[in-house]
């Protein structure tokens, strides 16, 4: 899962997902704007 990014970046993405700003696609590998 997003192995090319830093843990900090992954944490920021996770927070955005939690806030509903972006969502994870079904393959759990890519992020897309809502």
DSSP strands (E only) in the chain: 22-24, 31-33
Global pTM?
0.33
| Token couple for 25 | 């696609």
pLDDT score, position 26: 55
> Roughly how many angstroms between the first and final C-alpha of the chain, as a whole number?
20
Q: Residue 22: phi, psi to the nearest 5?
A: -135, 170
pLDDT score, position 11: 76
Are 22 and 33 in contact by the 8 Å Cβ rule? The answer is yes
33 three-class SS: strand
pLDDT score, position 15: 78
Q: Domain of 14?
A: 1-34
Query: How many domains, in total, are found in the chain?
Result: 1
The mean pLDDT values, 10 residues at a time, for the chain of 34 residues are 63 73 57 52
């Amino acid at each position: 899962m997003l192995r090319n990014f830093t843990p900090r970046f992954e944490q920021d993405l996770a927070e955005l997902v939690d806030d509903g700003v972006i969502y994870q696609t079904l393959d759990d590998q890519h992020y897309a704007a809502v």
